[in-house]
Structure 1
């Protein structure tokens, strides 16, 4: 959606320095690739070197951020929070696709489905008995919604996502393609040389403003609910086992795996490829760093690293010590040889 530089600045709450106020901005791009007619952002001093040769028409920066060698063709849009201003610019210049509110004739809906207003239900989407879809939600092509599912307002379920029976989803939830919500938890008892399946008869409850990435799996509770708290964001390829309680505004990065019956408290961050053993509590605001393996509780506000995970500073010291081990062994060997020579002399 092309707009003038001044319109963009007003929309983002930015002050203009230099440039042509009537210049047309048609899209956004990264600082390393932006060209004429595009707006970019600069929030890290490591990237200031890209300014000098840039042909971008505008660059969003923070108040007090010093930039040298700004090209004559580039306007600086100066604001209090450049990251949020750039997000606003991207949303304005690259609006999300709007789907005509309709129910495709190829969609398969049970007679007992309850539907709100202004819905989009794509071709070959399936919605089961006694399920309810509230106002403004989108069920895209090929998505499967089981029985007794409740989906709130303004949700978006992307193609080929699968939502099993009895799942409850709040408002403004996004579930990406390939995600599976409410499959059986992984529960077995070993008896008589075989694995006996434990019935999984609970459900999954997803609160408002949650986003779930592609190919992520969230298992239903064995008896109660697996809960995903409001505002939490879950990346692609994440596994969340049965009966987990995930708090509000939690971040889970790609390839994270959480075993059953864990409690991930509000604002915690699980970085990429982290693994959490069962019945573990990750405290409020705690950070589990990438590729860490957590076998015990993590206190609120702490940062842990390694496998088994421990306090970040301790883990880093151990890593440094290990890096010095070859030189230390070499030195020990030399000392042993000197001792042997002294013993011979004696």
Structure 2
């Protein structure tokens, strides 16, 4: 899509300094590779060096960065929040593919399914009895929607997603390819040295504006519900166990695993490869750093790291001390030898 520089600046709430307001902008690119008729963003002064020889036609930046030297002919797009302005530009210049609002003749849709207006259902989709699909929702090829499932408005269900019976999904939800929503939790009891499966008859509730990455699995509740709060974003390859209560606007990064019956409060962040034991509470605005193991509660608005995780500063001091251990052992050995000589004397 092509937009004039002037129109793009207005759309993104930015002020143009320099350049030609009538120049066409055809696409967006990162600061290292942007070329003619492309727009980029400078969101950190340390990347300014890449602009010295840049061919980009325009660059979003803040007021401070606008004082830097820029190539002749490059327009400065000064914004209060360059990142958000750039995201707006990317969405405008690279609109998502729009599918014709249609039901594929190769889809299997039960007669009792309620279908909203302006929906798209791709080939080889299966929607089972007594489910409902909200207005403007897209369900892409190969997805399987179980019985008594409700999906809200303007959702996008990507290929080969499986949504189990009785799941409830709100509006504006994105579920990427290969994800499994509402499978049984991993629960067993032992009897006579055999594992007896605990039945899972609960469901999963996904609230509005949630995004779930590819190949992520979220288990249903044992008897109640597993809940994913509004605005939460979950990366690829995440496992969320049964009966978890995930708050609003939580970030869960890739390859993290959350055991059952945990509470993760609003705006918490779990970085990549985090492991969380069952029945743990992670407080609001807490940050769990990458590859941490959480075996106990995490206080609100704290940062923890390590396995088992502890306060970030404490963990780093311990790691620094551990690095000094070989030298310390040498000193101890030398002292022992001196003491041994003194004893002999």
**1:168: which partner in 2?**
168
Q: Does 1:154 align with 2:173?
A: no
**2:53: which partner in 1?**
53
**1:201: which partner in 2?**
201
Structure 2 vs 1, CA of residues 96 and 334 (structure 1 numbering), >3 Å: closer, same or farther? same
Measured in 1, the distance between the counterparts of 2:18 and 2:261 equals: 57
Measured in 2, the distance between the counterparts of 1:265 and 1:339 equals: 56
CA contact (8 A) 2:125 2:144 kept: yes
**2:36: which partner in 1?**
36
1:219-238 residue pairs with structure 2 within 5 A? Answer: 219-238=219-238
**1:262: which partner in 2?**
262
CA contact (8 A) 1:295 1:308 kept: yes
Measured in 2, the distance between the counterparts of 1:13 and 1:259 equals: 44
1:1-346 residue pairs with structure 2 within 5 A? Answer: 1-65=1-65, 67-344=67-344, 346=345
Measured in 1, the distance between the counterparts of 2:51 and 2:339 equals: 62
Measured in 2, the distance between the counterparts of 1:66 and 1:123 equals: 50
Specify the SS of the correspondent of 1:299: coil
Specify the SS of the correspondent of 1:199: coil
TM-score, structure 2 length as denominator?
0.98
CA contact (8 A) 2:274 2:289 kept: yes
What 5-or-longer segments of structure 2 have no aligned partner? none
CA contact (8 A) 2:66 2:78 kept: no
Measured in 1, the distance between the counterparts of 2:65 and 2:73 equals: 19
Measured in 1, the distance between the counterparts of 2:252 and 2:300 equals: 16
CA contact (8 A) 2:152 2:171 kept: yes
Q: Deviations over 1:100-139 (max 9, x none)?
A: 1000100000111111100000011000000000111001
Structure 2 vs 1, CA of residues 78 and 136 (structure 1 numbering), >3 Å: closer, same or farther? same
Measured in 1, the distance between the counterparts of 2:254 and 2:26 equals: 32
- Displacement, 1:67? 5.0
- Displacement, 1:13? 1.0
CA contact (8 A) 1:108 1:127 kept: yes
Q: Deviations over 1:216-248 (max 9, x none)?
A: 000001100000000000000000000000011
- Displacement, 1:4? 1.2
- Displacement, 1:66? 5.1
Measured in 1, the distance between the counterparts of 2:116 and 2:10 equals: 36
Measured in 1, the distance between the counterparts of 2:48 and 2:334 equals: 50
Aligned Cα root-mean-square deviation (Å): 0.9
Measured in 1, the distance between the counterparts of 2:68 and 2:206 equals: 48
Moved over 4 A (4+): none
| Aligned residues between the structures | 345
